[in-house]
Each structure stands twice: as structure tokens, then as C-alpha cells.
Amino acid sequence: MPHVAPPTWTQPLNSPLPPEVAGSGHGWFTRYRRYPVFGPAWTRGRLRVWLPCTVGFLVLAAVAMFGGEQEPPPLGGLVQAALQLLLPLLAGPWLCAWLRRQGLGPQREWWMLAGVIVAISLAMPVLHHLGGEALKQWVAELTGAVDETGQRKRMIMALGVVVSTPEEAAAMARARADGQPQDTPWSNAVSSAFISFWLAGGAGLWAWRRQQASLVALAQARELAHAQAQRREAEMRLSVLAAQVEPHFLFNTLAGVRSAISTDPSRASEMIDRLVDYLRAAIPRLRSDGGAQATLGSQLDIVRAYLGLMAARMPRLHWRMEVPADLLGAACPPLMLISLAENAVRHGVEPKIGPAHIEVSAQRDGERALHITVADDGAGFGQHTAGTGLGLTNIRERLLQMYQGRASLELKARPEGGVAATITLPAE
């Protein structure tokens, strides 16, 4: 069986997601989650939520700083904290939004998004370690918070939680009492990387994966529903066609019986017997919805009764079946073989002058595919019989719906005249 690629979903980045993916009940705070993750609309919405929160936090820190006891206040630390918060908040989502607009494909896009966010998360502690002191010195020089030697005055600015042993806590307390800052580089680096990861959109990576999986699942569900709707439509057309053909066929047969009664009573009697055989075999299946899978043997019973009736109507018609017994139980879509047999009679036998032959055969190939052929030596392809009639179109559509391109109907001109119509079904 050939590999069939799973359906994909193309979602415009600025358009809201389907409700099945985005959910409902989003308020102002989570409204941006209705859009594709790291899309422009998602990025703008997230920024409208978290930028005011971040700026508000910095304003509160500044108010507490200027209202504290330290003189002058640690403005350098405040500027550094502002950069560590605002840079990842602005740079991460916007870089990811730019990547999403490049159309990289799901796998490559995922790794690029993760790489950008991780790079920003690791860059912030490095920048803090390499340039933090220079930034504080520059701010101190601007604000005059320097000593006689021109060096900034050391101040302590602590945000968050510091975990330490009792001995480390005592040492830090003595250092504070002596006016000496106590650095905790590893804890600062870890906390800075974690905060930068979240601000840059780290949580969006998991949301991106869930969103992609949900979109693919929704595409599969919608494609399945569409295929089922098309199949029901094809079955309805087939049932309507059967309902239209059946009275026409019966009227022609009864007209033939009426004509034969006066000229050849024995043939008229045989035609009635064959008609009864055909109706017994065909009517229960023609009255079904056409959707149930049948067996090759049951479909051949209908064809056998039909060809027997046609041979009674047209004594010049000869037919035979060559089907191995072990294939009679094979699955075969209903009402297809009888349609091919009717085509062979209508377009091959009836226009031909003189004797005509129809042969029905079935066989499996090396790949176990089932080939069922209805061949005639009749008039062959003509101006109006090029293999594109309504019945043949219905067969092709139903094969496509039932087997997704793994089955086919092929019509070939035979060297001795006539047409061979072959239905190929995949191995069960």
C-alpha cells in the first residue's frame, strides 16, 4: 500500500483559529490565544497584556526605591532590571513572528523557534555578567552616584528569593552590615535565564505544538467528513441511476416478450424465466443503499442472470464466465459489474451485426490485487462510447471514494474488436 501523507492545515497567521482549536470563553487577558502562536496577531495581543504588567512592576520598584533609605537610590540596578525584562519580552515574540512568516515547514519551524527562545534566555545572563557592571557605572556617572575615585557607590538591590545555607546567610548578613555587596552569580544566572525564557515566549513553544497537533487532527476530521459526504452523494446518485435504469430495462424486456409471444412462444417463455431469475438476483441489491460491501460471487449472480436474459432476447449473443472458485468470496463493490455488463450489451452487442460474445473473468496478480474484466467483441469505441458515460463516471467516483486512489477502472480496445473493461481492486 503506498504511503498517504496526512492532511495538513494552512492557517493564516492573522486569522482567528477555528473554535475547535482555540476554544471559547476568552476574555481580554487571553484574547490573543485565539490566534496562531507566534503569529503577528498573537504577538501584538500578548504584548498588549504583558507590557503594561512589566512596566507597572518596574514603576512599583522605582517608587519603592525612591522611597527607601538608600541614598542615592540604585538606579543602575533598576535600569539593568528593566533591560532584562523588556528585551526578551519584545525581542523573543517578534523574532518568532518573523520566523513564522518565512514558511519553513513544521519541523524546521519548531527547531528555529526553540533555538531563538533558548538563545535569548542564555544571552540575558551572559549580558548581565559581561556588561552589568559597566552599565551600572555609566548610570552612576550620569546621576553623580560615584565616590572620590570616580567609582560607583556600591548598593544592594535584591528582587526575588535567595536560597542559602545558614552559614551563607550569616556571611551575607555580615557583608550587608559592613556595607559590602554579596553576589550570588549562579542563582542570578539561573533566575535570569528562567525569567527570560518565559518572557521571550517559552510557554508558547508547548502551545505551538498543541496547536499544530489540533490543526492536523481537525483537518483529518474535516477531510473524513468531506469524504463521507462525497461517498453518500455518490451512493445516492447510484441509487437514483438504478431506479431510473430498472424501469427502462423492464419495459424493453417486456416489449421483447410481447413480440416473441406471437412469433416464438418458446423463446418468450424462456425470456420470462430468465427475467424472473434476474429479478430474484438483482432486485434486493438494487433496493439497497449501494453502500454495503458485497462479494464477487453475489455480483456475478446478477451478471449471470442479466446475460442469460439478454441471450434469450438476442439469440446471437453468447457469453461465458471464467472465475476461479476461490475468488467468489472476495470483496467487490455492489452494482459495478452489472453496469459494465449493461454497457457491453448496449454499446457493444446491440450495434453489432451478427454473432457477439461477452466474457467475464477474474484473477489475482502477483501483488494479490483483484482484476475483474468484462470483455466483448462488439462495435468497440465509437463517437458516443469513449468510456466517459454516466455509469462509468459513477464507477470511477465510487472507486476513488472507497479506495482513495488504490482502485481503478480501465477500458481498452481489443485487437479482435470490442472493448475490455477492467476493474482493479487492491489486495484485501
- pLDDT per residue as tens digits for the range 329-388: 999 988 889 889 988 998 899 899 999 999 999 999 887 899 999 999 988 876 444 445
- pLDDT per residue as tens digits for the range 54-75: 888 888 877 776 665 555 666 7
Range 219-425: architecture per CATH = 2-Layer Sandwich (3.30)
DSSP secondary structure string for all residues of 215-276: HHHHHHHHHHHHHHHHHHHHHHHHHHHHHHHHHHHHHHHHHHHHHHHHH-HHHHHHHHHHHH
Residue ranges of E strands in 63-114: none
CA distance 384 to 216: 45
Domain with CATH 3.30.565.10 in the chain: 219-425
**Does residue 157 carry a pLDDT above 80?**
no
Most confident by average pLDDT, 74-83, 130-139, 273-282, 304-313: 304-313
**Does residue 248 carry a pLDDT above 60?**
no
